[in-house]
Amino acid sequence: MDVLLVEDDKWLGQAIEIGLTERDFQITWVRSGAAAIGELQRQEYQLLILDLGLPDIDGQRVLQSVRRKQLALPVMILTARDETDQVVQALDSGADDYVTKPFDLNELAARLRALYRRRGGHASAEIQVGSLRLNVNSHEVWVADDPVRLSRREFDLLQLLVSQQRRVFSREQLERQLHHDETPLESNALEVHIHNLRKKLKHKDWIETIRGIGYRFSCD
């Protein structure tokens, strides 16, 4: 199992690298957020272990960057910040699980294996749910093998919804996914993009409105 470890602490990073290697993980270890982003652009991984307290780029920002580009990648957060708000923010930004330092390596390894199983055992460039298929690298989308042309923001929104089918995403989470550059969003931008997605996919029921909360994707 190929794992990217992002941990700036020399001794902790080394201990995790050695411990997980002994437990049959293949570890690539980097010590900064910039190095992590570069490594993920260069190579595909099956799991990401991400420390929140990085020296250059805050771990939350790294996580958000990862989720905009590789939503199929399972992410385990390492944090010394045991405050609830930090954990909630990381999970809302797309983390799948977390452990608080100090932690037991056996527990970390078990959590990683469980996370890998839950996310389907792979972090492929393609995501397929029912008759819907999308490629996160080429930004191509197909429904029943028919190509669907989407704008960048429509693709980003669909990718987030599909990455965790049946999870309810709040308006704030979805709007963060759309606001990936300096271009301002109109107040009704989310509704417009949801409407366009439903029309282009030709399956209005795939994207369900959860009144007062947000939206979720379901395609059986």
Whether residue 25 is found in the same domain as residue 72: yes
Same domain, 95 and 166: no
Residue 148, pLDDT > 90, answer yes
SS3 of the chain: the string is CEEEEECCCHHHHHHHHHHHHHCCCEEEEECCHHHHHHHHHHCCCCEEEEECCCCCCCHHHHHHHHHHHCCCCCEEEEECCCCHHHHHHHHHCCCCEEEECCCCHHHHHHHHHHHHHHCCCCCCCEEEECCEEEECCCCEEEECCEEECCCHHHHHHHHHHHHCCCCCEEHHHHHHHHCCCCCCCCCCHHHHHHHHHHHHHCCHHHEEEECCCEEEECCC
Instruction: Assign residue 69 the CATH number of its domain.
Output: 3.40.50.2300
- Count the domains in the chain: 2
Does one domain contain both 135 and 99? no
When mean pLDDT is compared over 47-51, 71-75, 161-165, the highest value belongs to 47-51
Same domain, 140 and 112: no
The percentage of residues in the chain with a pLDDT greater than 70, rounded to a whole number, is 89
Do 83 and 41 fall into the same domain?
A: yes
Q: What is the pLDDT of residue 182?
A: 47
Does the pTM surpass 0.95? The reply is no
Q: Say yes or no: 6 and 97 in one domain.
A: yes
Q: Which domain holds residue 212?
A: 126-217
* Residues 20 and 113 occupy one common structural domain: yes
6 with 103, same domain? yes
Domain termination residue (choose one: 70, 97, 118): 118
Q: Which of 77, 99, 118 is the last residue of a domain?
A: 118
Percent of the chain scoring above 90 in pLDDT:
34
Same domain, 153 and 113: no
CATH number for position 140: 1.10.10.10
